Structure 1
Amino acid sequence: MKISQLTHSEEVLMQIMWKLKSAPLKEILAAYPEPKPHQNTVSTFVKILTEKKFLSVIKEGRIFRYEVAVPRTSYRLFLLQNLLAGYFENSGDELINTLTEKGLWDSEESSNLPQEKEVKEENAVGDFINEITGKKKQDKKEKKKKKKKNK
């Protein structure tokens, strides 16, 4: 499944849909914060998100129900991978260093956790960083090996 970048307005609608999971247009409109956009505007965004395959359509009689086709976690991972690639040279370590330096992540906070939970979270963070950067690092290593062989 290929995920594409959403505009701000599309992302607002998807935030609503991730909460609702499945809803007809009327319920989507009701869930919008004030000031609510016009029904035609929301309908257009729903159509665009359906074409981008973020939403799927189910016909129930004369009413169309829209369901989330791209989970929030998948889109969040897509955004994080783009952030790493575009601003941190695919380095999870560089991202964490920046977050720590700017006070957005307190590494001491995680040291106050119980031992067992700390190990699990360390592994989860490490696994996550490896998941999003591992393939690209491996590709770089393979390219370097090919260059050395060609010389």
Structure 2
Amino acid sequence: MKELTKAEEQVMQLLWKQEKAFVKELVERMPDPKPAYNTVSTIIRILERKGFVGHNAYGKTHEYFPLISRKEYTRSFMKNFMRNYFSGSFQEMVSFFAKEDNMSLSDLDELMEDVKRDMKNEKTESDE
């Protein structure tokens, strides 16, 4: 999966949050200073070409919606990030951030419990 530019990601974040929107609505929800309508329209067309966004046509207007979920993109982005910066090692990545943030042992233990709980829940959901 291709990575998004900052501008593309900003538009996708809005689409993921709203589930579908017209360009005008996206522009309205962007932080100040708001980009021009044509700028957002161009970004949307690029996202469509990349396969991230689809649309429904209503006459001359188009309502856009994400084709890739936030979770799918995050998973792909993090795998690439881990591969590019931590030789694909999850352990190295977690160790780096734990040291950078001066995490305490109790915080690390809590993190491990959260991960175990999430993994157990995912396994239960996939078994159903």
Q: What amino acid sits opposite 2:13 in the alignment?
A: Q
Structure 2 alignment gaps of length 5 or more? 123-128
TM-score, length-normalised on structure 1?
0.70
CA drift at 1:111:
3.7
Does residue 124 (structure 1) correspond to residue 123 (structure 2)? The answer is no
TM-score, length-normalised on structure 2?
0.82
8 Å CA contact retained: 1:23, 1:67: yes
Report Cα offsets for 1:21-42 as digits up to 9, x if no partner: 1011111111111101111111
CA drift at 1:125:
5.8
Structure 1: 4+ residue segments shifted above 3 A: 104-107, 110-113, 123-126
Q: Distance in 2 between matches of 1:104 and 1:40?
A: 45
CA drift at 1:107:
4.7
8 Å CA contact retained: 1:46, 1:55: yes
Residue 102 of structure 1, aligned match among 95, 100, 103? 100
Aligned ranges 1:1-150 → 2 under 5 Å: 3-103=1-101, 105-109=103-107, 111=109, 118=113, 121-122=115-116, 124=118
Greater mean deviation of Cα atoms: 96-105 or 17-26: 96-105
CA drift at 1:15:
1.2
Q: Distance in 2 between matches of 1:61 and 1:77?
A: 36
- Figure out how many residues of one structure are paired with residues of the other and give that number: 121
Judged with a 3 Å threshold, the aligned counterparts in structure 2 of structure 1 residues 29 and 92 are, in CA distance, closer, same or farther, namely: same
Identity over aligned pairs, percent: 29
Judged with a 3 Å threshold, the aligned counterparts in structure 2 of structure 1 residues 77 and 106 are, in CA distance, closer, same or farther, namely: farther
Superposition CA RMSD, Å: 2.5
User: Larger relative CO (CA 8 A, sep 6+): 1 or 2?
Assistant: 2
Structure 1 alignment gaps of length 5 or more? 129-151
* Residue 125 (structure 2) aligns with: none
